[in-house]
Structure 1
Amino acid sequence: MRKALCQPVNIYTITYDKIRVQAEVDWYLLDEEGNKITSWCEQRRYPLLYRSYNGDLYDIYSYTNTIERFNFLDPAVHSDSPTVAQALLNQMRLRNSRTVYNYGLTTKPLGGHGLCETHRVAKRYENKINDDEYFGSYNRRTYTYNQSTSTMQQDNGLTTKHTYQYNSAHKGDLKHKEEQHNTTSGDKEITYYEQYDAVFRDNPTRLKIEQQNTGGSVNTFYKGYTYSDWGGIATETALLTPAQWNNPTEKSRHTTSYTYHPDYKFITSTSYYQNPELLLTESTSYDSLGRVATATNAKGETTNYQYGDTNHPGNRTRTNIQHSDGRTTRTDYSYFGAYYAFPTIVTSYYTEEGIQKTSTTYKSYEFIRGNVTSETDALGNTTRYSYDTQGRLKKTTHPQSMGRGGNFEVQDYTDYYNFVNLSGAWIETPQRTFSVENYSTANGSMFKYSIDLYDDHGNLLLSRYYDLNKGVYVPTVYGYDNYDQLTWLKDANGNNTTYQSDEWGRLKKVTDPQGNYHALAYNLINRTKTTTFVPSDTGVAENHYVETSDQWDRTISRKGYPNGPGGAPVEEKYAYDLAGNLTKQTDPNNNSTQYSYDALNQLTKVINPLGEITDYAYDRLGELTQIQQYQGATTFPTVQQYSERGVLVTKQPPAGQPTTYKYNANGLPVEIKDASGKITALQYYQDSRLSQKTANQDRIQYYYHPLGIVEKYQPLNGDTLRHVFYCTGQIGFRITAESYVAGFEYDLLGNRTEVSHPGNLFTNYQYNNLNRLTTVTADGKNYTYEYYGDGMVKAVNYPQLTGGTSIRTEYTYDNINRLKAMHNKLGSQTITQYSYNYDNNGNITSVTENGQTTSYTYDALNRLTGIQRPGGEQLSYQYDSRGNRTVASPNDSGLDGFISGEFSYNNWDQLASFTAGGQASNYSYDPEGLRTKKATPSSTTRYHYDNTGRVITESNAGGYVTAQTIWGNQALARKVGGSYYYYLYNGHGDVTKVIDQTGNIVNSYTYDEWGNILSQQEQLPQPLKYAGEYYDDESGLYYLRARYYDPTVGRFISRDSNEGSITNPLSLNLYVYCYSNPLNYLDPTGHSAKEVWQGFKLGIGEIYNGDNWQSSWAAVKTTPEGAIIFVREGVVGPENFDELTNDVLSWADAKAGASAAASFVVGKAKVLKGAGKATNWGMWDDVSKSTYKGREYANINGRYYTREAIDRMTPKGYGTAAGGYQARGIPTSVVEDVIASGTSREVIRNGITRTIFESNGVRVVTEEAGKIVITTMKY
């Protein structure tokens, strides 16, 4: 044998012309010196892959040379037996790791009498690389063999065993195979390949699956296949129990059948049962060239495909979808240029008001891989893409948009690095990684940067973004076990969450940074998953839940145990049809809702527990076209019509006029005509973001930050709204009317740490290592939160009162976290106490308040139907099939508080005025829909909001601050005239008491279940009442942001622009409040009811993130008649992005600039301080301007200032800031001193030379050696 196997090289030479690809392949071998071996004998040796190169990096394969002996005549081998050389793969060297194989020698029969040696894998493992050194042993698997069995053992305890039996009658064909997976817990799953096809003897026809546990219990299932005459799968039978398998009818219902084209072997039909009575078939036909000609869905609706390019017959040129009303959805495809493989022009045809129109988009492609390099929409706006040598996206250039500083073009970049050493504080085990770096620029200035690092298995090891404001990386680090299962996660503050999984990859335990943990246990036989929570302080399990699945892993039951695992559970059940659609949902009170579907598995009918029916219908494109509800013999249809391209053109409610929609060529709405005839017009920037909205004489202009978030709203009538964002995407400042500013700061994890109110008040927030709010501080007064281990609020402590006592609210819960009791205490004295009981559905059945009990009843839809008060008073309610309240007995209870009057609305469908008794109250709103002013006949109030839509300051018409609110997870206190008043609540979140600083109860309230005020004793007028929401005395309505709620009838006064969910017909009633279950739900947005108890689970750090009312409110702003404008608080940066990204400014700089802006003096500002009157003073609009090199600057004493520099300053000589904020700003005199006498240094970024002057903690960034002041800040 030669000393070494030759290094094989596979050389491809590829040349291109405009259309065709020619390939030449040469195979030859190199010796160890790299010389081509010319010997025919050596060249005929089978080549072995040595190295592969993808244009970016090499994978290297190395081999072990072995000798194997054989003997044709004797079942034994000897030292002089003939030999054969074998090359065994022993190592694969990949990017940042290698895989190693070890082998063992064995023998096997050779022919009828002989024997030969062979090798088989005994072990495989992987090494990682650090500093070019291999380390560790990962994904280790050890293999042992015994006659007909092979066993794979992992270090984590998983064992997989294969057993083989062969049929000698068929020359060694496989007769039986057994595959067994064992865990250390004793669970095992065994798959028996019991039967094989008679022709295709390697294709199994029957599999038996056994699941076993340590107690010896067994679940047995069968799965089966049949095959066509050429070996394709003809039928596939799902996992069945023995009884189902042996029942021919049941077996056929769970079997999917396939047919194939006789020549091309493509699937021509797929048939399966949706339910026992309905066999569905989807079919595809092909032409003589094997091209798809038609595709017919299970409803028999056909899509036709045409191929009209004779020069390139494989290219599809037209798709036609025929509608039932005779219309056709037609799309044409054209192929031009040097490519012809991909469509370069796509044209869609549609009609609008009877006129035929088209929408055409254009694409270009890279030659080799077919990646899209440019995409031009129907309005001529182009997005461009570029790729690296591996075909990975490197750069995206978006169409232009507009910010308040002018047009900008965003470019997103991605860079890939194969060899990045990860070590130090970032990770516990240093290693070499693969990194993906993402950053974005606007007009060349970077505003976002992040980097992710991965191992060779694709496990994310480190994800970090660069906080441009703080000047630090914010990391999240991940750790894995030797088998790639996540074991820990570390946040930017070093808090560790750990994870444990079993050998099958199922999560077993999650432990938080405080040592509390969630435990998950699985029962293989019963198919259950049990979850519990174990707090670190008690070690006693709580929060017991059990979820049961069927054999197809569909959830069929969920149980919770309110009184612990020894008590009776509450259980919700689910049933499905044969296609997996949910057909029945049974709640814990045993009330069932049924669902039906069409042949496309689209929901067509919902029957609620009262037998009330809602029907749905769809068009050819799957769009919902009709909703039908019924009341007796009357049908209430809502009909929607869509164009051929699937956009809504008409919506006709059950009564009244329709709403109609028009669109541009890109399919974006440009005109909405509502039922009253009012037209709302919409315009867009090149990047398809909304630029302008107009309704009658009102108009709003939108300006965006480069990351797509609205940074400024400019209404034609009304106040502007502007946001200044931190680079993390959080709002730094919220500026209304260029005058009123609220400021916000955050920690590395995004928790809000400070709110600066208009009026010289700062509220600070602290969090524990679970990001739960622990302390709120304002004016030196501390409010603290205590928690149970699972995050439920245990107590709220208020600041110490003047007498030395303090207020404390305590909460207790049942085992599934429903509030059971609540106590409000003043020192040792109980002020109010509440206890709650529930039915199985979680509806409150009784409330005991200070010893007095009120009881409640509900119908099968969980709507409130009966109330029995402590004095014996009884009330009842009835509803129609659409959810409207039809009876409130006795005497229309609740109408006592009704205030008769007239409503008028503005062009944005917001309540503009309420007139009662000839006296009008008027309301104004900001462009995001939040009410900013209320003017009644007796007073005017302006409202100033934080970044979550909550009022933090109120002022009067003269600019005086009248009140400020301190918020935790609810309003904690109200500051009026320098004095603090503290809010106390009941379990529903209704304000019941207001207590002053001396401990006196100054206000007391009681309400009915709908929010009507039953009694009120008020020494301090204040608006927060039922559900902690703003109550308007003049109208008797509650302001819930999107809409106003009338408690006298339990309805909103206007329809919801969010149209509900078809799976819950109650939500389709756009006026009803909280599904007519006001005890258990709140609706703080006016858009979506939320369970009350969500508000008690977590502190502000979690309550107001994610799926909650504040983020929902911030996320969705609505235009008339449901045209939704999404305004996300995503990742954006401050106004001085170009500086920050070029490392000119530090976090201290940014913070100083933020502090300056926090003076609440922007534009013609009115700074609010206590009850003092605001002082008007001029800024950008009042200083003289000059144009220099085509750009407008403020000209102060001959020096040019940018608008940003002006916004950050308090220029003496142009007015004085009120409220003690003067020290936070930088007057022009200081700027002059710093430039004249400070130290200076130059930096060059993007070809621009800037001079930075520094002196006495002030930094001034300039261009042209001080002639132009770009920005200023303290450091």
Structure 2
Amino acid sequence: MAKGIAIPEASTTLRLTLMGFKGQTVEFFYDQLSRPIRSEYPGEVVVETRYTPSGQVWEIEVTCTPAACAEAGKDPGITRHHYDVRDRLTHIDYPDGRWIEYAWDEAGNRTEVRTQNQRTRYTYDALNRMHTVTACGNEDCSVGETTTYHYNAVGSRSGVEHANGTATEYQYDELNRLTLLRTWNAQGSLIQRQQFHLGAAGHREMVVEVPERVVEYTYDALYRLTEEKVTDPNGDRTTTYTFDATGNRLSRAVSCDPACTGEVEAGTTTYVYDANDRLLEESGPEGTTDYSYDENGNTTRKTAPDGIVDYHYNTDDRLTRATGHLESAATEASYTYDAHGIRQSQVADGVVSRFLVDPTHEHAQVLEELDGAGNPTALYVIGHERISQERAEGYFTYHGDGLGSIRQLTDENGLETDRFVYEAYGLLEHREGTIPNSFRYTGEQYDPNLGFYYLRARYYNPATGRFPTMDTYQGRIHEPQTLHKYLYVHADPVNNIDPSGEVASNAVIGHITVLATISGVAHGGYQIYQGNYARGAAEVTVSLLGGGVVKLVWVPARAIRMNYVRLVGEMRARQNAMSIAGKSSEEIARTLVIMRNSVKLEARSDTVRELGWTGRRLVEWAERRNVRKYGNSLGPTAEELVTSGKSMSQIVEESALRTNQIVNYLFAVF
């Protein structure tokens, strides 16, 4: 929303004033450690942050009148955080009485998550990989419902056994790319099979499913999806796309035999954009739809043949209200968010749904859905993914496909109750079953009032393959597709996902799960989420550069090392540029976290591609070495390095330049 920034005279507290295009102002106050301590929004909405003596966020207090809170999309009250002697989060108390409690082991792995309504326990193997997840309500966890994960030699997930007797197997090629996924019900019958055929560049060109469904994908030179061809006993479909030079979709042509189903409609749709890549007009078989925007690039009105929808945003550009002809029977839907922009509630025509969200995951996850009286309507169990949901209808296990989209639900007896089929961008093409389910495409939460998926930073519209609001991530100059402010996953939804709503990540490469569960990244990410930006940025940076991940690129491949140093150099250049521009530690830290995800993916891909079997063995050796030396698979934490007197710049510099002398000697490369 910023139009200009004013910095008054020097004082013990830094004060920044941001002025929006409509003249509204937001003032931010920081202490001498550059930590946010107070934010003042229009309508006398005030957010205050207080810290523990060790620098952890203790309280976040939101003060506002009911009307002002509704306009700002915020809930009033105090959220409190409690920590153990190692500054690990142990308890969160929310203003409305909800709470989350955590327990940790000596290696920093989360061993328990407990709420008012449920308890989940976790165990880990010798490499600190998640081994079991036990959902036990609030009862003795020795008799709970347990899900078990299995891994192959490189650390990728090879199988999952669920408490209801269902099981899933994963197979990979020599580059650790998923090639086969199979799921069996409790009776041993195959209910899902996806065999992936990959092109020379690793993109999925064909998926063969059970029963007898084949999907073929074609791409242009920039690997944007240009055709999706489905051969299915229940009906065939072909969808083609064309794009302009910047990646905007110019046309979408759909043909079905005998007829299209679900949310997929036959016919050709064309699109018109302005010079800022904003979608202005969409013309299809049902007529023409026009879109309007505010000065910040947010979609404010959709004028369609069947009615008008108006969208309203707060000063953080979060959607707070939608009115008019919504996708559901409702005529108005409103939303609130916490101090960090994570959605906390929605109200549709007076019907309240509240979300209890666990912020300590890499991407915040909904643990519970509750009604307006605080009664749970859905309880979720979270492992590496969303494992199950418990509702009035019963206990149901989720089964995802190779993109993470939910394809089946099975009941307590391990039998299939629901089945979902999606087209490439997430429109629901076919559904069997009636069990309520909010989590669908790529495993993310669907909003039936908007027809959008909630991806945390932004909502995503699968009908247009775009975000209705601008991306705040600047992008990477050597990857022009990342500079687009509205495009979903670079127009390649077959191989990419975007759980953050800010940056695409590859879904083809197998998860080296050690890297996804190590405590440094999770803890550092939570520090930044809580606003402890200086400490969080150091934690995440060292989690990437100074520990287990950097050991993956201490390998005898000059190409890997050169690319890694280039990526790290970009991180440092971005940090320096933002510092010179006067950006706050908050902005710098958030940018580093986003870049960290890209570095991790590229480094992992380079390592496997260049070294094959040797690289996989080196990965295993490096992680075992870290466990022996540091007690966890990551290596030294950021806190240890910062405590030793190293500055952020020193940590980045040394992490980027130092080498593993043993590996260099063995392979005589450097």
> How high is the TM-score relative to the length of structure 2?
0.58
CA distance in 2: counterparts of 1:1077 and 1:1044, whole angstroms: 18
Partner of 2:127: 749
Residues 1023 and 773 from structure 1, CA distance in 2 versus in 1: closer, same or farther, beyond 3 angstroms? same
Partner of 1:1089: 503
Point out which structure has higher relative CO (alpha carbons under 8 A, 6+ apart).
2
Question: Are residues 1:664 and 2:31 paired?
Answer: yes
Letter in 1 for 2:507: G
Question: Are residues 1:765 and 2:149 paired?
Answer: yes
Residues 761 and 908 from structure 1, CA distance in 2 versus in 1: closer, same or farther, beyond 3 angstroms? farther
- Per-residue displacement from partner, 1:969-1009 (whole Å, max 9, x unpaired)? x6577676557566465x76555666788987844444574
Per the TM alignment, residue 943 of structure 1 is displaced from its structure 2 partner at its CA by 5.5
Question: Are residues 1:789 and 2:174 paired?
Answer: yes
- Per-residue displacement from partner, 1:1114-1146 (whole Å, max 9, x unpaired)? 564267xx989959999xxxxxxxxxxxxxxxx
Partner of 2:100: 721
Residues 1003 and 730 from structure 1, CA distance in 2 versus in 1: closer, same or farther, beyond 3 angstroms? same
Partner of 2:434: 1019
Partner of 1:844: 225
Where 1:1097 maps in the other structure, the secondary structure is coil
Residues 730 and 910 from structure 1, CA distance in 2 versus in 1: closer, same or farther, beyond 3 angstroms? farther
Contact persistence 1:964–1:974 (CA under 8 A): yes
Letter in 2 for 1:755: V
Gaps of 5+ in 1: 1-635, 1131-1275
Residues 656 and 764 from structure 1, CA distance in 2 versus in 1: closer, same or farther, beyond 3 angstroms? farther
CA distance in 2: counterparts of 1:1045 and 1:775, whole angstroms: 31
Partner of 1:1029: 444
Where 1:1027 maps in the other structure, the secondary structure is helix
Contact persistence 2:79–2:95 (CA under 8 A): yes
Alignment of 1:21-100 (within 5 A): none
Out of 867, 886, 892, the residue aligned to residue 280 of structure 2 is 886
CA distance in 1: counterparts of 2:42 and 2:440, whole angstroms: 35
Out of 463, 470, 474, the residue aligned to residue 1060 of structure 1 is 474
CA distance in 2: counterparts of 1:799 and 1:965, whole angstroms: 20
CA distance in 2: counterparts of 1:1061 and 1:1107, whole angstroms: 27
Alignment of 1:56-455 (within 5 A): none
Where 1:791 maps in the other structure, the secondary structure is coil
Contact persistence 1:810–1:822 (CA under 8 A): yes
CA distance in 2: counterparts of 1:865 and 1:899, whole angstroms: 23
Per the TM alignment, residue 810 of structure 1 is displaced from its structure 2 partner at its CA by 1.5
Contact persistence 1:795–1:809 (CA under 8 A): yes
- Per-residue displacement from partner, 1:530-550 (whole Å, max 9, x unpaired)? xxxxxxxxxxxxxxxxxxxxx
Out of 206, 209, 212, the residue aligned to residue 821 of structure 1 is 206
Contact persistence 1:864–1:877 (CA under 8 A): yes
Letter in 1 for 2:436: P
Per the TM alignment, residue 751 of structure 1 is displaced from its structure 2 partner at its CA by 0.8
Where 1:1041 maps in the other structure, the secondary structure is coil
Partner of 2:47: 680
Partner of 1:1239: none
Residues 1104 and 897 from structure 1, CA distance in 2 versus in 1: closer, same or farther, beyond 3 angstroms? farther
Partner of 1:477: none
Where 1:1117 maps in the other structure, the secondary structure is helix
CA distance in 2: counterparts of 1:750 and 1:909, whole angstroms: 39
Out of 209, 216, 232, the residue aligned to residue 835 of structure 1 is 216
Contact persistence 2:424–2:493 (CA under 8 A): no
Residues 914 and 1100 from structure 1, CA distance in 2 versus in 1: closer, same or farther, beyond 3 angstroms? farther
Letter in 2 for 1:722: E
Letter in 2 for 1:1082: I
Contact persistence 2:359–2:529 (CA under 8 A): no
The aligned length equals 480
Letter in 2 for 1:1060: Q
Per the TM alignment, residue 1066 of structure 1 is displaced from its structure 2 partner at its CA by 7.9
Per the TM alignment, residue 885 of structure 1 is displaced from its structure 2 partner at its CA by 1.7
Q: Compare CA radii of gyration and give the structure with the larger one.
A: 1
- Per-residue displacement from partner, 1:497-517 (whole Å, max 9, x unpaired)? xxxxxxxxxxxxxxxxxxxxx
Letter in 1 for 2:146: F
Q: Please tell me the root mean square deviation across aligned C-alpha atoms, in Å.
A: 4.8
Contact persistence 2:381–2:389 (CA under 8 A): yes
Residues 1113 and 854 from structure 1, CA distance in 2 versus in 1: closer, same or farther, beyond 3 angstroms? farther
Pick the structure with more strand per residue.
1
Residues 740 and 915 from structure 1, CA distance in 2 versus in 1: closer, same or farther, beyond 3 angstroms? farther
CA distance in 1: counterparts of 2:383 and 2:273, whole angstroms: 37
Per the TM alignment, residue 1013 of structure 1 is displaced from its structure 2 partner at its CA by 4.7
Per the TM alignment, residue 863 of structure 1 is displaced from its structure 2 partner at its CA by 3.1
CA distance in 1: counterparts of 2:221 and 2:399, whole angstroms: 32
Partner of 2:645: none
Per the TM alignment, residue 773 of structure 1 is displaced from its structure 2 partner at its CA by 1.1
Residues 883 and 713 from structure 1, CA distance in 2 versus in 1: closer, same or farther, beyond 3 angstroms? farther
Contact persistence 1:921–1:935 (CA under 8 A): yes
Contact persistence 2:35–2:533 (CA under 8 A): no
Residues 965 and 766 from structure 1, CA distance in 2 versus in 1: closer, same or farther, beyond 3 angstroms? same
Alignment of 1:1191-1230 (within 5 A): none
Residues 820 and 972 from structure 1, CA distance in 2 versus in 1: closer, same or farther, beyond 3 angstroms? farther
Partner of 1:868: 253
Contact persistence 1:793–1:1098 (CA under 8 A): yes
CA distance in 2: counterparts of 1:803 and 1:717, whole angstroms: 45
CA distance in 2: counterparts of 1:690 and 1:1039, whole angstroms: 26
CA distance in 2: counterparts of 1:1085 and 1:1110, whole angstroms: 15
Contact persistence 1:931–1:943 (CA under 8 A): no
Contact persistence 1:763–1:966 (CA under 8 A): no
CA distance in 2: counterparts of 1:881 and 1:854, whole angstroms: 27
Where 1:887 maps in the other structure, the secondary structure is strand
Question: Are residues 1:695 and 2:107 paired?
Answer: no
Per the TM alignment, residue 928 of structure 1 is displaced from its structure 2 partner at its CA by 7.1
CA distance in 1: counterparts of 2:403 and 2:307, whole angstroms: 23
Alignment of 1:1127-1142 (within 5 A): none
Percent identity over the alignment?
A: 19
Larger CA deviation: 647-656 vs 973-982: 973-982
Gaps of 5+ in 2: 64-75, 138-143, 257-265, 291-301, 541-670
Letter in 1 for 2:36: P
Partner of 2:604: none
Residues 774 and 803 from structure 1, CA distance in 2 versus in 1: closer, same or farther, beyond 3 angstroms? closer
Contact persistence 1:1023–1:1032 (CA under 8 A): yes
CA distance in 2: counterparts of 1:1078 and 1:676, whole angstroms: 40
Partner of 1:809: 194
CA distance in 2: counterparts of 1:1071 and 1:653, whole angstroms: 21
> How high is the TM-score relative to the length of structure 1?
0.33
CA distance in 2: counterparts of 1:1078 and 1:1049, whole angstroms: 12
Partner of 1:253: none
Per the TM alignment, residue 752 of structure 1 is displaced from its structure 2 partner at its CA by 0.9
Partner of 2:665: none
Partner of 1:877: 271
CA distance in 2: counterparts of 1:653 and 1:1105, whole angstroms: 40
Residues 1082 and 808 from structure 1, CA distance in 2 versus in 1: closer, same or farther, beyond 3 angstroms? closer
Residues 843 and 671 from structure 1, CA distance in 2 versus in 1: closer, same or farther, beyond 3 angstroms? same
Residues 1040 and 724 from structure 1, CA distance in 2 versus in 1: closer, same or farther, beyond 3 angstroms? same
